[in-house]
Each structure stands twice: as C-alpha cells, then as structure tokens.
Amino acid sequence: MAGLTQQQVDQFFSEGYLLVENLFDPVAYLDPMIAEYEDLLDQLAKDLFAKGRLSSTYSDLPFGKRLTQIYAETGTVHAGYFDFSLPFKDVKPDQPCHFGPAVFNMLRNPSILDVVESLIGPEIYSNPVQHVRLKPPERFVPRDPKTGRVLLGATQWHQDAGVVIEEADETEMLTVWVPIWDATVENGCLCVVPRNHDRGLLQHCVRPDIGNYLPERYFDADRAIPVPVRRGGALFLHRKTPHCSLSNNSDDVRWSMDLRYNPTGQPTGRPEFPGFVARSRANPESELRDPVVWKQRWLETRARMAAHPELVGPFNRWKVGAPGCA
C-alpha cells in the first residue's frame, strides 16, 4: 500500500483538502472509460438523429466538440445519459444512466483506495453519492427559457456534507474529485476554501433556479483558491470544506468524476441508492469485484423507484425559505 505520508494526512485534516498528483496511470484507468463514453455518445447521437432532433450525427467530430454540438443543437443537456447515478424523483423505468465496467474499475482504483485508507481507515465503502460531470464551454450550453441561466454551468458554493440527509451527519464521507483530462482555471476546475471545514455543517439555502447553495456570508469566500488538477491526479476533499467550480471558458468539455467513500457501516446519506464494499482488510471476501453485479443493483434500484415513487424517501435536507436564506 502506497497511501499518504503523515505530512500529507496532517495537511488534509488541517487544510480540509489535499491535491495528489500522478496518483494513478490514466492510460490504464481513464482511457477505457473514455472509450465507453465515446460509444455512449455515438448511440445518443444516432438516437437523436433518428428522432429528427439532430441534423447530423457529427461522427467526424472529436468527443468534446461532438457533445457540445449535440447539447447546443437539441437545446437539451443530456447529463443523465452519462451519469452513474439516478435522479431523486420522477424516475422512469427506462431512465438514462450508465454503469459500465470502466467506471466501476475507477471506483475500485487501488491507488485511490490507498489514499482513502490513509484518511478514513481500511474498511472502505463506495458511497453512492457519485457523478460524472461533462461540462461543455458555458457559452454553448443551452439556457433555461424561464430564468435565462445556463443549464450546466459553474457549480454553486456548497459542502458535500450538505448534499446528504441528516442520518449521515457523523459519517466520515470523503470526496475524491478526478479529472478525465486536465482541469484548469480556464475550463472550470474546483475552488476550495482552506481551513473552513472546522466550522461544521453550515446553513445551505435553496433557490428554484440554482438548487442548493451555501451563502458566502457563512464562510471565508474571499480566501478561496482554485485547484487545477492534471490528468492522473485527484483532489481529496473533507466533507465540510466549502467549494465550487469555475465556469468553463475554454473551447472543450471539462470532464470529471465525483467519487465518495466512507467507513463501512456508516450511513451513506442516500439510503435509496446502492453502495458497496470497495476494500476490506478484515474481510476481503465482502468486497464487490463484479461490475455486472454493481450495474444490476442500480438497475434494480431504478425499477423500484419508478414503480413505487411514493416509497422513495427524501434526498434534500434544505427547504426553500429557510431561516437565514432571505
């Protein structure tokens, strides 16, 4: 196990974040995932063309340009088509989603798990609060006709502990932010606020146009710093560290993964969604190693949520009009 040095561990708990460069081989782990997503995008383009929503499949364009053109021409952000998660409500039996083997291999990436083990211990659960983010250049992203806001732009300030329900307040949830290609200031890397995680979980607010957000008056937003991450590296975030993303002002897609882990046995904060044991030193047989089983668990969850929406519990702890949010 490589893991972290004691100095790195101390830095994480002092600053609330840690950047680890050259953590894993991007060719071995990211290129297979890129191939999966190229096939997904190709199928999406063919489906939309067959329905008359595209004038071409744009098969001659590279991935980022092709995705951007499809979003712009259809006026729709097809984010769910690529995500390895599900919506919180109104789930359909055929809800678009993606649970491919290359994505699963990233969740079990041993180099990432070595660092996770250094921070939360050897019994590691893959928390299902997970997403892929494909963000085209903001100037090309469709806008909400009612609000005029881009449908997929910069992420608002928030703490990751604020995106789960109260049962996970004491869960040692760790975020691992992984860029598929280099994340830069220009294309929308994350910004973090060091040494604000010790303030605890702060009041988040809700607006219909942007969803959850953390008002800047509650933390030292003026001390925020951007954290570019090169391909093959990862940014590790404390669950209570305020962070956001910048806008993508580049000419290509900013592509990243949000992975989360917690000690096995602690609540995930999304009880409807299936997690799994990613590593266990005490009981290696409990680890899930089969991507087919992982996918099947999610598809069963999709079917259950579609068939019984009345049984799906709450996903959001924050309410519109909460005190302090005026």
Is residue 209 classed as helix, strand or coil in its secondary structure? coil
Whole-model pTM above 0.75? yes
Q: What is the pLDDT of residues 162-207, one digit of tens each?
A: 999 999 999 999 999 999 999 999 999 999 999 999 999 999 999 8
pLDDT value of position 136: 94
**Answer CATH for 12-25+78-311 from 2.100.10.30, 2.60.120.620, 3.40.50.150, 3.40.50.720:** 2.60.120.620
> Please, are residues 262 and 278 in contact by the beta-carbon 8 Å criterion?
no
pLDDT value of position 150: 64
Between CA 237 and CA 125 the distance in angstroms is: 16
Element of type H or E holding 226: strand 225-227
Query: Structure tokens of 183?
Result: 């994340």
> Please, are residues 35 and 146 in contact by the beta-carbon 8 Å criterion?
no
Half-sphere exposure of 306 (CA within 13 A, CB side): 13
* Nearest-5° Cα angle at 98, 95 to 99: 125
Residues paired with 212 in a beta bridge: 206
* Nearest-5° Cα angle at 214, 261 to 11: 50
pLDDT value of position 1: 52
**Tens of each residue's pLDDT in the chain, 326 residues:** 579 999 999 999 999 999 999 999 999 999 999 999 999 999 999 999 999 999 999 999 999 999 999 999 999 999 999 999 999 999 999 999 999 999 999 999 999 999 999 999 999 999 999 999 999 999 988 776 666 666 677 899 999 999 999 999 999 999 999 999 999 999 999 999 999 999 999 999 998 777 889 999 999 999 999 999 999 999 999 999 999 999 999 999 999 999 999 999 999 999 999 999 999 999 999 999 999 999 999 999 999 999 999 989 889 889 887 877 86
The domains of the chain are located at 12-25+78-311
Phi/psi of residue 192, nearest 5 degrees: -125, 160
Contacting residues for 220 by C-beta, under 8 A, at least 6 apart: 193, 196
Phi/psi of residue 310, nearest 5 degrees: -70, -15
pLDDT value of position 147: 63
pLDDT value of position 326: 67
